[in-house]
Homo-oligomer: A and B are copies of this chain.
């Protein structure tokens, strides 16, 4: 069985995204947003069958851990109530996908974060998604300001109310930023990767996992710059009198969203196979075909299967690591 730990609903029905635009316009105009539209099951089915599910079938992916489109989370926009309404609508839509395709998708929720709003106010939505909708995890945005990095580091105690709930519910978070409003950054080209690297270094510097031994994070996009600079991070841990990096590996995991063979080779050469979860970020950041291979850049299964891993290792990456990190999958 092959589980893709990193899929976003980037092909959501037009009525859903149009409502977001209407909601944003209403906020700007200081008026009440329109009611969320009725979206028939058939539209949702078509939006999945024609893209995500077709690609999963082509690539032999059995199950995708599926969350709302990351770049559309837009926590920076509006205020807490705008973020909450959009988040609930987006999570409800994921729940409908799962109801339609219960054997092919598992849900991960967006949180109703908003700059300056205590994370405790995101906990009820996490509980609703896990306890009522059957979701298996959440996406946590370390920079709800959208590229201005105004929140406290993920290791600051202001985040602890969420971590307490995550541990209690036994769900992990994928560290995932959203769109940027800072011209220095391109969302998928630099902001995402920077956030991955930033989060790892925050974890390295702190005792967060002594305080929360059961807390688990997936750092997507192959860990940003981290595996490529694994020697640098090992050296920094040493210089900063921190425990070896291996001390983080009970709590921190990386996906395989690295879109060329040399990158995947590197990932597997430095990160223990117990800490790598198969993922493709599909249909997502990079949708084209690599002219050097003739295959989609994001067809990460090709890279992983080219590694010639022993069957036990492959099974961990494809399936059992995901089940361990997201135990509610079972």
Residues of A in contact with B (beta carbons under 8 Å apart):
142-143, 147-149, 151-153, 156, 182-186, 188-190, 193-194, 197-198, 200-202, 204-205, 221-222, 224-225, 227-236, 238-239, 258-263, 265-266, 269-270, 285-288, 290, 297-298
Contacts and interface: CB of A to CB of B under 8 A. Distances in A.
B287 A258 contact: no
Nearest to A239: B288
Given A148-B148, A193-B197, 13 more contacts: A156-B183, A189-B232, A190-B194, A221-B229, A222-B228, A230-B262, A231-B261, A234-B260, A234-B290, A235-B287, A235-B288, A239-B288, A262-B266
A259 B239 CA distance: 14
A275 B320 CA distance: 41
A285 to B, nearest CB: 7
B148 A236 contact: no
22 contacts: A142-B184, A148-B149, A151-B184, A152-B184, A188-B236, A189-B232, A190-B194, A190-B202, A194-B225, A222-B228, A224-B225, A227-B228, A229-B258, A229-B263, A231-B258, A231-B260, A232-B285, A232-B286, A234-B260, A235-B290, A235-B298, A238-B288
A300 to B, nearest CB: 10
Contacts of A183: 152-153, 156
Contacts of A182: 149
CB-CB nearest 4 A-B residue pairs: A231-B260, A235-B286, A231-B259, A225-B225
A228 B231 contact: no
Contact of A143 (B147, B156, B184, B233): B184
Contact of A235 (B198, B225, B233, B297): B297
Contacts of A148: 148-149
Q: With a 10 A CB-CB cut-off, give which of A156, A231, A259 has the most chain B CB atoms.
A: A231
